[in-house]
Amino acid sequence: MTRTDPSPAGTPAASPTMAARAVDLVKTYGKGDATVRALDGVNVAFEPGRFTAVMGPSGSGKSTLMHCMAGLDTATSGRTYVGELEIGQLDDNALTQLRRDRVGFVFQSFNLVPTLTAEENITLPADLAGKPVDRAWFDYLVDALHIRDRLSHRPTELSGGQQQRTACARALIGRPQLIFADEPTGNLDSNSSAEVLGFLKESVRKLGQSVVMVTHDPRGAAFADRVVFLADGKVVDELLAPTPDTVLEHMRQFGA
Amino acid sequence: MWNVTIKGLLAHKLRLFLTGIAIVLGVTFVSGTFVLTDTLHNTFTSLFGNVYQSVDFQVRGAPAFAGNTGANAARKPVPQSLAATVGRVPGVAFAHGVVQGYAQFVAPDGKAVSTGGAPTLGVSFDPNTRLSSLRIVRGTAPTTAHQVAMDEATAQKYHFHLGQSVEVLLSGPTERFTICAFVRFGTADNLAGATLAAFSLPTAQRVLGEVGQYNAIDVLTQPGADKATVQRAIAAVLPRGVQVVTGQTVANQATSAINQALGFFSTALLVFAFIALFVGAFTIFNTFSIIVGQRTRELALLRIVGASRRQVFRAVLGEAFLLGLAASLTGLGLGVLTALGLRALLKGFGISLPSGPLVFAPRTVIVSLLVGVGVTVVSAVSPARRAVRIPPVAAIAEVQAEVGVSSRRRVTVGTVVAAVGVVALAVGLSKPAIQFVGVGAVAIFVGVAMLAPLVARPLSSALGRPLAAAFGISGRLGRENSMRSPRRTAQTASALMVGLAVVSTMTVFFSSVSKSATASVDDTIDGNFIITSSSNGAGAFSNSVGATAARIPGVSAVNTVYTGQFQAEGGVQGLTAIATRNLAQTVILRVESGSGAPALASGDLLVDDTTARNNHLSVGSTIPVKFAQTGDTTMRVGGIFKTNSLLGSYLVGDGFFLAHFDNPLPVAVVLQTTTGSGAAAKAAVEAGLRAYPNLKIQTRAEFIKTQQQQVNQLLGLVLVLLLLAILIALIGIVNTLLLSVFERTHEIGLLRAVGMVRRQVRAMIRAESVIIAVFGAIVGIVVGTLLGVAFAHSLAQQGISDIGVPVGLLVLFLVIAGFLGLGAAWWPARRAARLDVLAAIASD
């Protein structure tokens, strides 16, 4: 199942400095005639300290790519790395620890545990690891995200934007190597979206954080430093320093 | 709509299976009880039918007391000469006397053959095979004064052989006989644990204590004689107080006496079956509530596409109906297997029953199906009504699923139901009326279950705190989950609550009985040794024991205790007799008014204060009484003593008793020694009574311990029978947790995504389960303890003088409940941990 021809864009340099990369990544679902190739030999690398957006039409495999690279799903073949660690060989406990200690997540919805307060949700990864929370870092995050006055509230008492900002704080609390954001603003109005995306962008600028965001919103993608385009399970194009217009233009080429 | 119901059922096989299991187990218990008792009924009926089918008539003493005319009625023996008189009646072919009494074999090892409570029968052997109920398997009928026939089961158990010499304990001195035959009683392969010794008629009269008299005369008519005419002719020659009845009547009376005992046994088992079903009802109610909550969207969609409220209601109830039906049918089948299992279980407790073909009556099918389906459907009514209230808009909009009865209304209804329960219980206990007690207990449980959500949150919070401290984030999340929906937590815990409430009630009740028994002994017995029969319950031994014991060196006083029945205050009453000589040295009489020993010595009656109060008796009152042997007379109340369960309600002196009872057997002998109750003193007493291997010789402390052990054994049996209810409650917890895990798929997926390892997921579910179980246990134990105290208190007049709350044991139950909760979480925790993280977060 190995495919050797490299994709035209996002060719991974075998650089040790990459935050995460995928080599010849294939993911198929089903068997026989019903086989669906969600990822069809993807080679991509995400640089550290950069904000990368992954775009593509529905069914292009962008979510699958993120799941495989974050250790949430296992690839059919190929290799995935977080830093220099190949995660395809890891067992469940090691993968869980990887997610807990080295990766941060922001999902589209259901980001927070309903029984816990906002503060408890933010410190959840540290609590799960049984590690002390860096209080100064915590204070910086809640202030930067303007959620200090909501800390003792439960998720149901928070607005959609507040929930996503709390999720951002949780993703960053452990100073992960990489943050995966899966349509983080999919359920938000434009003001709230801008606030969340602005924060992610700032975390890259100011703190050197690495962020990979899956999105189908061109305006959202424009917050990124680089946009990788996926179609039919392959990386088909990429764009540096995007604007909403250039993103839209590129997307039109793939009929998205 | 019917289609939707069936599809809905099939779509959730696991849920179906777990919910159904509660009903399957309950119905299994019900049908198993029916099959077992029907089978026993059939066995005994055919046994007695067999035995008496050849006897045309029986001549016997008329029942002595109007209140008791059945097989166990007290009857006077008939004079031996009457057999000849009856034999001369035209149409009579044979008229042979029958004698029955106490005879107990001594095993080759010198110990008495013990029966675990069943009778040790001595009978006369009738050589006329048409009249005899005994069949000789091997050997020849006993004819001489030194021969005995032994029942086959005893012979096999102790490896006796024909011609062997065997000692037999009798009401008089022990004698030695030669075994001449092995016999069977009718067609039975065992005598339900009883033993049987058959002697020639004159020997039986001598050793069973009926010299010159028979217990009854069996009559066989000549072929072709008109039976009604013969019966009238026999009746004409009988003296007053003697009756002639058909063999069929005798068989029927014997059967109905057995059936009465079986009926009690069957009722007791059914009570436990219904407790199990009642617990099952909580489980079903809870499951259906959650299912309706989870299917809100689906049900609302049905409403959108045009289903009426009535149709939705029917769809949910229809699911319950089909589930109940399938589970009941399964339970019915398993019941037959259980009947065999119960038989084995009872055998394990020393109650062996004769074998016979299994009886599967239509009643078993009907009651099992009605109960199983009924409980399921009734439990689903409230969830179905909740389903009906789901607005169609819930299908498209996120509507809060909790559309149940408002909590204020539930609190009101719960309070009222619990209050009604308390009142019914109070009425039932004071009357006493067992139906009121049952209704009251059920209402209290339902009421408490309705009120439990009020305390679920604070209690879960408190219980979860140490878990959160010990297990970190997992414990904290488990605690939060248990607090999330107090109503669900309370509902889930309610089944275990009821189960443990019944367990605690029984435990408190029995420990009160045990404590009271100790107090009774302390209150009554002053002697150092108490001698009773070694076969529990069948308590009889030779009346020469007292005299023999008196000759033992160091024994300073002996008191032989008898019990019997007489008629007084409108019913058949138990009567206890104690020796008036040396009374003060052996027995404590707490006389409240009148006199004690002097009144007994002069032939007066002593009554306990409860009886005196209830019948408005005082010292000097004269009451009419009747004895089986001596007939009507009057007795003066010479004194009133403090109520005590060992002494009973009516007490007389031994002189009076022996004058009114023929050949009674003692039930106990109390010894006072000058040598104390140490090992040496006990050895001396044992040595002096070596001739009586059927005696249990105990010091006062040992006697108390035995009494407590008997109570504890009964408690053990009850707890075993309650295990099923506990098991059903646990299945309820498993079921709810599985449904909760399913409901929280997304949340668990999120926790896994942000770094929760499987071990932590399992710990979280376990913490929740333990909190639920311990919560249910606490409420149950509190309610059960109160009920137990109420039961025990209401029986104060029956001799439960002390209330005992075994705190240690109740705490142990609580700890066990915690571990059971841990066990119940095993599967749900595993499922939660195995959840596919990606599927969990991607679902939606």
Q: Which of A100, A113, A156 to mutate to test the interface with B (most CBs of B within 10 A)?
A: A113
User: A28 in contact with B at a CB cutoff of 8 Å?
Assistant: no
Q: H-helix or E-strand containing A77?
A: strand A77-82
Note the pLDDT of residue A10.
41
Of A160, A180, A163, the residue nearest A171 (C-alpha): A180
Mean pLDDT (whole number) for A50-61 = 87
Q: CA-to-CA distance for B658 and B563, rounded, in angstroms?
A: 11
- Tell me the per-residue pLDDT of A119-168, one tens digit each, with 9 for 90 and over: 989 988 888 888 888 999 999 999 999 999 999 998 889 998 999 999 99
Q: Which residues of A touch B758 (CB under 8 A)?
A: 92-93, 96
Q: What is the full DSSP assignment across B373-401?
A: HHHHHHHHHHHHHHHHT--GGGGTS---S
Note the pLDDT of residue B539.
59
Note the pLDDT of residue B208.
84
> pLDDT above 70 covers what percent of chain B?
92
Min Cα separation A241/chain B (Å) = 30
Q: H-helix or E-strand containing B100?
A: strand B100-105
Q: Which residues of B touch A101 (CB under 8 A)?
A: 755
Report whether pLDDT(B72) > 80.
no
Mean pLDDT (whole number) for B694-702 = 87
Report whether pLDDT(B535) > 70.
no
Q: CA-to-CA distance for B415 and B589, rounded, in angstroms?
A: 47
Q: Which residues of B touch A125 (CB under 8 A)?
A: 754-755
Q: Residue B771's CB: how many other CB atoms inside 10 A?
A: 28
**Residue B396 or residue B163, greater confidence:** B163
CB pairs under 8 A between A and B: 72
**Which residues, in sequence order, are CB contacts of B264 under 8 Å at separation 6+?**
none
Q: Model confidence at B330, in pLDDT bands (50, 70, 90)?
A: very high
Q: H-helix or E-strand containing A19?
A: none
Q: B307 in helix, strand or coil? A: coil
Contact assignment for B753 to A73 by CB distance below 8 Å: no
Q: What is the full DSSP assignment across B116-147?
A: TTS-EEEEEPPS-TTT-SEEEEEE----STTE
Contact assignment for A96 to B473 by CB distance below 8 Å: no
Q: Model confidence at B207, in pLDDT bands (50, 70, 90)?
A: confident
Mean pLDDT (whole number) for B612-625 = 88
Residue B574 CB-half CA count within 13 A: 10
Note the pLDDT of residue A8.
39
Residue ranges of B 731-760 with Cβ closer than 8 A to chain A:
746-747, 750-758, 760
Tokens of B555: 């024994």
Min Cα separation B818/chain A (Å) = 23
Contact assignment for A96 to B838 by CB distance below 8 Å: no
Note the pLDDT of residue A11.
42
CA geometry: angle A170, A173, A178, nearest 5 deg? 90
| Partner-chain residue, chosen from B472, B480, B838, that has the shortest CB–CB distance to A116 | B480
Note the pLDDT of residue B116.
63
- Look at the alpha carbons of A245, A246, A251, A253 in this order and tell me if their dihedral is positive or negative: positive
CA geometry: angle B185, B190, B196, nearest 5 deg? 55
Note the pLDDT of residue A51.
93
| Partner-chain residue, chosen from B480, B754, B841, that has the shortest CB–CB distance to A170 | B754
**Rg of chain A in Å (alpha carbons):** 18
End-to-end Cα separation, chain B, in angstroms: 27
Q: Which residues of A touch B472 (CB under 8 A)?
A: 127, 130
φ/ψ of B797, rounded to 5, equals: -70, -25
- Tell me the per-residue pLDDT of B213-223, one tens digit each, with 9 for 90 and over: 888 898 988 88
Residue of B nearest to A97 (CA): B755
Q: Render the burial of B266-284: b for 16+ CB within 10 Å, e for the rest.
A: beebbebbbbbbbbbbbbb
Note the pLDDT of residue B93.
87
- The distance between the two most distant Cα atoms of chain B, rounded to a whole number of Å, is 103
Q: Which residues of A touch B485 (CB under 8 A)?
A: none
Contact assignment for B758 to A93 by CB distance below 8 Å: yes
Mean pLDDT (whole number) for B674-702 = 86
Mean pLDDT of chain B: 84
User: A67 in contact with B at a CB cutoff of 8 Å?
Assistant: yes
- Tell me the per-residue pLDDT of B737-792, one tens digit each, with 9 for 90 and over: 888 888 888 888 888 888 888 899 999 999 999 999 999 999 999 999 999 998 88
Report whether pLDDT(B316) > 80.
yes
Report whether pLDDT(B7) > 90.
no
Q: CA-to-CA distance for B315 and B126, rounded, in angstroms?
A: 70
- Look at the alpha carbons of A200, A205, A206, A210 in this order and tell me if their dihedral is positive or negative: positive
**Residue B340 or residue B505, greater confidence:** B505
User: A124 in contact with B at a CB cutoff of 8 Å?
Assistant: yes
Confidence (pTM): 0.79
Note the pLDDT of residue B829.
92
Contact assignment for A115 to B760 by CB distance below 8 Å: no
β pairing state of B571-578 and B555-568: antiparallel
Q: Which of B180-189, B284-293, B330-339 has the lowest mean pLDDT?
A: B180-189
Report cis status (omega within 30 of 0) of the bond before B828: no
Tokens of B301: 């969609």
Mean pLDDT (whole number) for B820-829 = 91
Note the pLDDT of residue B198.
92
β pairing state of B631-641 and B605-608: parallel
Query: Scanning the structure block, which residue is given the tokens 């052996």?
Result: B586
Q: What is the full DSSP assignment across B473-522?
A: HHHHHHHHHHHH-HHHHHHHHHHHHHHHHHHHHHHHHHHHHHHHHHHHHH
Q: CA-to-CA distance for B731 and B388, rounded, in angstroms?
A: 27
Q: Model confidence at B369, in pLDDT bands (50, 70, 90)?
A: very high
- Tell me the per-residue pLDDT of B263-286, one tens digit each, with 9 for 90 and over: 888 888 888 888 888 888 888 888
Residue ranges of B 479-508 with Cβ closer than 8 A to chain A:
480-481, 483-484
Q: Residue B329's CB: how many other CB atoms inside 10 A?
A: 17
Q: Model confidence at B817, in pLDDT bands (50, 70, 90)?
A: very high
Note the pLDDT of residue B628.
82
- Using an 8 Å Cβ cutoff, are A90 and A79 in contact? no
Q: CA-to-CA distance for A254 and A89, rounded, in angstroms?
A: 34
Report whether pLDDT(A97) > 60.
yes
Q: Which of B743, B754, B834, B844 to mutate to test the interface with A (most CBs of A within 10 A)?
A: B754
- Tell me the per-residue pLDDT of A71-90, one tens digit each, with 9 for 90 and over: 888 888 899 998 888 888 88
φ/ψ of A82, rounded to 5, equals: -115, 115
- Tell me the per-residue pLDDT of A17-47, one tens digit each, with 9 for 90 and over: 788 999 999 988 877 777 888 888 899 999 9
- Using an 8 Å Cβ cutoff, are A179 and A211 in contact? yes
Of A77, A11, A75, A17, the residue nearest A45 (C-alpha): A11
Q: Model confidence at B126, in pLDDT bands (50, 70, 90)?
A: confident
User: Hey, what amino acid is at B418?
Assistant: A
Angle of helix B247-294 versus helix B296-304 axis, rounded to 10: 80
Q: CA-to-CA distance for B371 and B267, rounded, in angstroms?
A: 15
Q: Model confidence at B104, in pLDDT bands (50, 70, 90)?
A: confident
- Look at the alpha carbons of A163, A169, A172, A174 in this order and tell me if their dihedral is positive or negative: negative
Q: Model confidence at A12, in pLDDT bands (50, 70, 90)?
A: very low
Contact assignment for B750 to A73 by CB distance below 8 Å: no
Contact assignment for B484 to A114 by CB distance below 8 Å: yes
Distances (CA, A) of B560 to A7, B542, B578, B653: 108, 11, 6, 10
Min Cα separation B769/chain A (Å) = 16
Min Cα separation B833/chain A (Å) = 11
Q: Give B634: exposed, middle or buried? Use CB within 10 Å, 0-12, 13-18, 19+.
A: exposed
Tokens of B84: 């000849």
Note the pLDDT of residue A7.
39
- Tell me the per-residue pLDDT of B672-681, one tens digit each, with 9 for 90 and over: 888 888 888 8
Mean pLDDT (whole number) for B472-479 = 86
Contact assignment for B754 to A128 by CB distance below 8 Å: yes
Tokens of B195: 């033993």
- Tell me the per-residue pLDDT of B13-54, one tens digit each, with 9 for 90 and over: 777 787 888 889 889 988 988 888 888 888 777 777 776 777
Q: Model confidence at A211, in pLDDT bands (50, 70, 90)?
A: very high
Note the pLDDT of residue A198.
92
User: B702 in contact with A at a CB cutoff of 8 Å?
Assistant: no
- Tell me the per-residue pLDDT of B251-264, one tens digit each, with 9 for 90 and over: 888 888 778 878 88
Residues in chain A: 256
